[in-house]
Structure 1
Amino acid sequence: MAEYELYCFAQSGNCYRAALMLNLIGADWEPKWVDFFGTMVQRSPAYRDEVNEMGEAPVLVHGEKKLSQSGVILTYLANRSGQYKPQGEDEELEALRWIIFDNQKVNGFLGPYRFLKNFAKPAGAPPVMDAFKARALGALGIVNKRLEKTPFLVGDRPTTADVSLTGYLYYPAEEFGFDIAKDYPAIASWLQRMRALPGWAHPYDLMPGYPFGTQGYRNR
């Protein structure tokens, strides 16, 4: 049995943050598929009672601990492994600042936009989609400007802030209808730096649920 279990599914950028962090630190882990779109197990009383009362994924299981919310999971793994951990109070606060900005403004709008475009039935109404897209692009512009000045969000090395912000940014451009890497050159360069880290893997290769509606992986 692996040291860590992660309740996750391939289409979730929130799950990807946690799965990627586990891979980057070289953890002994295994995924547990959450059939988010099919049986919607996350809505079941058993899931809410035994796994996560919030009815969400990801959930990291480590011994007796069950941790939810990707920022909490990233912090826990960084503290345990000593890897991707901000150093000192100033870095910790700066990393937290970007994680919160990511969850609220970058992937906070990009994630729902992608969900409503690709998976929701019916798809999102045009005014809603336009509003989500505009807010997401504005936030990406802020991140791009930051990365024009520094190789990673907090400085010269990657931290939990960088792992968090990659959440939805490796998914195919056709799932958004626009190419983030093409439109934001500094983000594109940063994504290549993250991709070069030992243990990096694409979300569709790292977590079950691809092709859509199956428990498979892209390259397995």
Structure 2
Amino acid sequence: MTDLSAFPITRRWPATDPEAIQLYAFPTPNGVKISIALEELGLRYEAHKVTLKPEDVKSPAFLSLNPNGKIPAIIDPNGPNGAPLGLFESGAILIYLAEKTGRLMGNGTAERLEVLQWLMFQMAGIGPMFGQLGFFYRGEGASIQDRRAKDRYIAETRRLLSVIETRLDGQDWLCGSYSIADIATAPWLRMLCLIDAREAVGWWDHPNCIAYLDRFLARPAVQRGLVTPPRD
């Protein structure tokens, strides 16, 4: 049996199945990226709910795995050369899982790089900008009277949606075939619906995005990943 005792996080969130990938997450857009990928790839994993509260993500146990104090993070008991591997940052984890299985990252160098560029687009643009929109539109920032921040992130979200809309013209997925770029991006589009920002960002003016999210949400692996670990 694999010994994960070198990872202090396992004392706070013990591994029931130490031979499985250990996922530490909460069902936010970033968190569900990894549970969805694990489901799509059919990898054996065990999910631990780590809330966004400081007593969880800022605890010494969690910081021992991710010093940045953000979900998600994983431990793969069968990492490179068979040794356990701890990893944080959702983009890095998606790349690792895709490379581990040889799936969801295109075929050949050119397709792989295409997937990586759209993954980086999500990491550098979609995630930060949509996240700030959520804060100023529905989160703690919604009570701020000065509208400049809210208006800025609404405008930037509209712009980024138009980029995705154009990219999806004539194709089902961002890189032709389904990939980790879609797993990274679609949960953030879903977030716009969950916070009821669709009218503000002109959601209904983006039919390709609407159809894209519907296709994504219809996937059985996505449906399982979206509720893993459960919020309650």
TM-score by length of 2: 0.79
1: CA distance, partners of 2:194 / 2:100: 37
After TM superposition, the structure 1 = structure 2 runs for residues 201-216 of structure 1, keeping only pairs within 5 Å, are 201=223, 205-209=227-231, 216=232
Aligned: 1:143 with 2:143:
no
Counterpart residue identity of residue 110, structure 1: F
2: CA distance, partners of 1:122 / 1:128: 10
1:152–1:162 CA contact under 8 A, matched in 2: yes
* 1:176, distance to aligned residue in structure 2 (A): 4.0
After TM superposition, the structure 1 = structure 2 runs for residues 33-182 of structure 1, keeping only pairs within 5 Å, are 33-37=49-53, 39-48=54-63, 50-63=64-77, 64-120=84-140, 123=143, 126-155=147-176, 157-171=177-191, 173-178=193-198, 182=204
Aligned position for 1:212: none
2: CA distance, partners of 1:165 / 1:177: 17
2: CA distance, partners of 1:120 / 1:66: 32
Which of 191, 194, 213 pairs up with 2:213? 191
* 1:123, distance to aligned residue in structure 2 (A): 4.7
Q: What SS is found at the alignment partner of 1:167?
A: helix
Q: What SS is found at the alignment partner of 1:144?
A: helix
* 1:87, distance to aligned residue in structure 2 (A): 1.3
Bigger proportion of residues as helix: 2
Aligned: 1:13 with 2:29:
yes
1:36–1:42 CA contact under 8 A, matched in 2: yes
Cα deviation 1:39-94 (Å, max 9, x = unaligned): 4421223321x221111110011112111111111111111222212211111111
Aligned position for 2:6: none
Describe the shift of the 1:117–1:78 C-alpha distance in structure 2 as closer, same or farther (beyond 3 A).
same
Aligned position for 2:8: none
Larger C-alpha radius of gyration, 1 or 2?
Answer: 2
Q: What SS is found at the alignment partner of 1:61?
A: strand
1:86–1:159 CA contact under 8 A, matched in 2: yes
* 1:202, distance to aligned residue in structure 2 (A): 6.6
Aligned position for 1:213: none
Counterpart residue identity of residue 71, structure 2: A
1:144–1:185 CA contact under 8 A, matched in 2: yes
Counterpart residue identity of residue 200, structure 1: V
* 1:122, distance to aligned residue in structure 2 (A): 7.0
2: CA distance, partners of 1:198 / 1:143: 23
Task: Please give the root-mean-square deviation of Cα atoms over the aligned residues, in Å.
Answer: 2.3
* 1:167, distance to aligned residue in structure 2 (A): 2.7
2: CA distance, partners of 1:190 / 1:173: 13
1:105–1:136 CA contact under 8 A, matched in 2: no
Q: Give the % identical residues.
A: 24
Q: What SS is found at the alignment partner of 1:35?
A: coil
Q: What SS is found at the alignment partner of 1:171?
A: helix
1:8–1:208 CA contact under 8 A, matched in 2: no
Describe the shift of the 1:122–1:51 C-alpha distance in structure 2 as closer, same or farther (beyond 3 A).
farther
Q: What SS is found at the alignment partner of 1:151?
A: coil
Unaligned runs of 5+ in 2: 1-16, 78-83
Q: What SS is found at the alignment partner of 2:222?
A: coil
